[in-house]
Structure formats: structure tokens, C-alpha cells
Amino acid sequence: MKIVYSLLIVLVFFTSCGEAKKNSVESVLDTNNLEKIRKKRMSLVEEQNAIDGKIKLLDQAISRIDTVKNVPLISTFKAKEEVFNHTLEIQGNVTTKNLIVITPEYNGILTNVYVKDGDKVRKGQILAKIDDGGLSQQLAQLKIQSDLAKTTFERQKRLWDQKIGSEIQFLQAKSSYDGQQESINQMQKQIAKTTVRAPFSGTIDDVIIEQGSVVSAGQSQLIRIVNLDDMYIETDVPERYVSSIVQGKKVEVLFPVLGKSLETKVEQAADFIDPTNRTFKVKITIPNKDKSVKPNLTARLKINDYTNEKALLVPLSIISENANGEQYLYVVKDKNDAGEGVAKRVIITTGKTQGDVIEVLSGIKDGEEIIKEGARSVEGGQTVKVLTVETIK
């Protein structure tokens, strides 16, 4: 009996499959019979109408049960008063007054160089010597002549003090001695020019010329010396910042090549505005204890030009503008325990921008809930549902 029942089930299955295949759209089209095709179409239309009716009943049930189906889902953040430091970003180059290429004060042969690259030297230390071309011998002769003139002057003075001799003899002896002394002083100054000394304490960066070379006063480059202690940046700032960037303003200096940054202050802001480019000079001291900052190194400067101790900041992305050119954003009012509230459009005035945030000067208050995600898709007076309340940093 079970076998017969099973056979009947199999027979019914294959029969129904055969009927379904026989009544399929493809099989009807293959008959090329207009009447059969029209009947098949009518049958499909009746099935579609039946399905549309069922979908409508389902939509009515969803509308009855889901009371928030048309409520936009948003995220918000709360306005919070905070310190806002606006900065001007410009570029500058590191320099120092203690960087110089020494040139000789005397023409001659460079007979000695006493330093090499990298040596530490102190102010006044002898770095090199130039042949004096016989000035030392001339100085020795002048000293001999001066000694004789001195002896003659001293004798004439003793005689004159005793009222012996004429006044003219005394004055001639004094004039001769004074002349010899002046000649010695002038010769000593000339000889001093043959000695090259360090103008300040620092490091020998480069010995440019070799010993034995002929050098010319004021032209030949001998030695470059640098001191990395007193480094600074001098840069041009647009004139519109003349009242906000003043002495003492905080500055963040970034050195991209070194991968380091430091904080310092404006040491000096010039009072003169260059008429050619409408800028003024700003000098910024650079602490350089580790000697890593070098002359001519490029730096990016962030100079604090404005501070608001109680600023309200919002992302630029949530601000829109109406046809009158007014800026606005949306806040949430009357929010219930389920997170549902009403979106209200608020006209605002804005201040300075820093990065992706902007300062709001009026229109919102501390603690007010502002729409962030979904701000572009809501309308004033529309019911909204708050999914998350974010923290703006």
C-alpha cells in the first residue's frame, strides 16, 4: 500500500511539472497561437493584480505599526565653549647673524692656516697669518728711531725744566718723539691686519683657501665661520595682520626636513610696511640647544593671530547658505526620551576658520544640540530621530 501511495505522489509531481512547463510563457510563445498568447497574458495580469493587492495590504500594516518610517535618522553634537587659537601659516628660512665668510684686510701670501673644518674657536683666536712683506723689519727700525727720539726729548725736557736751552729745541724734540710714536702705532695697525682672527666664537664650517695662496684685501674668501646658538627666522607677513601679530605672540615652528617642531615667540614685529609688496618683517628666535637647526633651513610657521577663550566651533560641512547669502545650520528642539525632536533652521554669523572647523559668533548657544550627519537632508520643522550624539574635538 505504501508503495502504491508513493507511486501516486511521484506521478502527480511529474504531471504538475509537465503542466507547468506546458503552460510556461516560453511554451505558449512557441505555439505561435494568438489566442493562447492572449489568454496567458490575461492570466499573468490577474496574478499581478492579486500580488499588488497583497503588497498594498502589507504597506498599510507597516504604516499602521511603524510610526517613524518618514523620520530622517541623524547624528548630533552639543555646542561647547572652548579656547580657539587661530593661526597664520607662512614659510620662512632660518638664518643667523653669526655666519660670516672671513676676507683678509691685507694683500699678500697666506703663510699659515691654524684651523681646519669643524674646529671650535673662540672670539679673537688667530685663524691664519699673511706675510707682512717686511713690515716687521720696518717696525723694528721705527722703534730704534723712536728710542733715540725719546732719549733726546727726555734730555731736552730736563734742560727746559732747569730753564736751560731754548723752547724751540724742547718743542722740536717733543714733536720728533710724538711723530715716531704715531708712526709705530700706524705700522702696528698695518701688521695687525696680517693676522686673521675669529670675529666671534663658533665653529669653522669651511677653510676655503689653501695655505700659500696669494690673497687680496676684501676680496679673497678665507674661512667660513658659524655660530648655531643665536638662530632666528625672519619672514614677511601681509599688512592685514599688523595689529594682530605683535611681539610676544606664540609661534609653532615646524622643520619638515628634520621631522621636528618647537614652540617659541615673536621676538620683533617691524613697524615699517614695505610699499612694494605690502608686508612687514617678523623676527622669530629659534632655540637650538642640540645644534640640529642649520642656516637656510626651510621652516613652516604657525603664528597665533587670534584667540577666543569662549568660542563655539562647528564643522564647515554642516553650514549652508540661503538665497540672501545668510549662513544657517539646524538644531534639534523638543527632543523626547525616544530621541525624536524637531529640526529648526538657525541663521548664524561666523568668524575665523581653522582647518575643517569654523567659529560661530552668533545664532547658537553653549549646550545646544546641532545636527551633524544628515544636516543637508533635513528641513526646518521636520521631525527627526537622533541616533547618536557625537563629541566634537
73-84+309-390 topology per CATH: 2.40.420
Q: What is the CATH number of domain 99-225?
A: 2.40.50.100
What string of pLDDT tens digits covers the 393 residues of the chain? 444 344 434 444 444 444 445 567 788 777 778 887 888 788 888 888 888 888 888 877 766 666 555 688 889 999 999 999 898 999 999 998 888 899 998 899 999 999 999 899 999 999 999 998 888 888 888 888 888 888 887 887 888 778 777 778 878 888 888 888 888 888 888 888 889 999 999 899 999 988 889 999 889 999 999 988 888 999 999 999 998 899 999 999 999 999 999 999 999 999 999 999 999 999 999 988 888 898 999 999 999 988 999 999 999 999 999 999 999 999 999 888 888 899 999 999 999 998 899 999 999 999 999 999 988 888 888 888 888 888 765
Which pLDDT does position 49 carry in this prediction? 86
> Who contacts 384 (Cβ-Cβ below 8 Å, separation ≥6)?
71, 72, 73, 74, 332, 340, 341, 342, 343, 371, 374, 378
Which pLDDT does position 66 carry in this prediction? 60
91-97+228-306 topology per CATH: Elongation Factor Tu (Ef-tu); domain 3 (2.40.30)
Tell me the three-class secondary structure of the chain, residue by residue.
CHHHHHHHHHHHHHHHHHHHHHCCHHHHHHHCCHHHHHHHHHHHHHHHHHHHHHHHHHHHHHHHHCCCCCCCEEEEEECCEEEEEEEEEEEEEEEECCEEEECCCCCEEEEEECCCCCCEECCCCEEEEECCCCHHHHHHHHHHHHHHHHHHHHHHHHHHHCCCCCHHHHHHHHHHHHHHHHHHHHHHHHHHCCEEECCCCEEEEEECCCCCCEECCCCCCCEEEECCCCEEEEEEEEHHHCCCCCCCCEEEEEECCCCEEEEEEEEEECCCCECCCCEEEEEEEECCCCCCCCCCCEEEEEEEEEEEEEEEEEEHHHCEECCCCCEEEEEEECCCCCCEEEEEEEEEEEEEEECCEEEEEECCCCCCEEECCCCCCCCCCCEEEEEEEECCC
CA–CA dist 114, 289 (Å, integer): 28
CB 147 within 8 A of CB 126: no
Q: Is the pTM of this model over 0.85?
A: no
CB 373 within 8 A of CB 60: no
Structural domain boundaries of the chain? 1-27, 33-64, 73-84+309-390, 91-97+228-306, 99-225
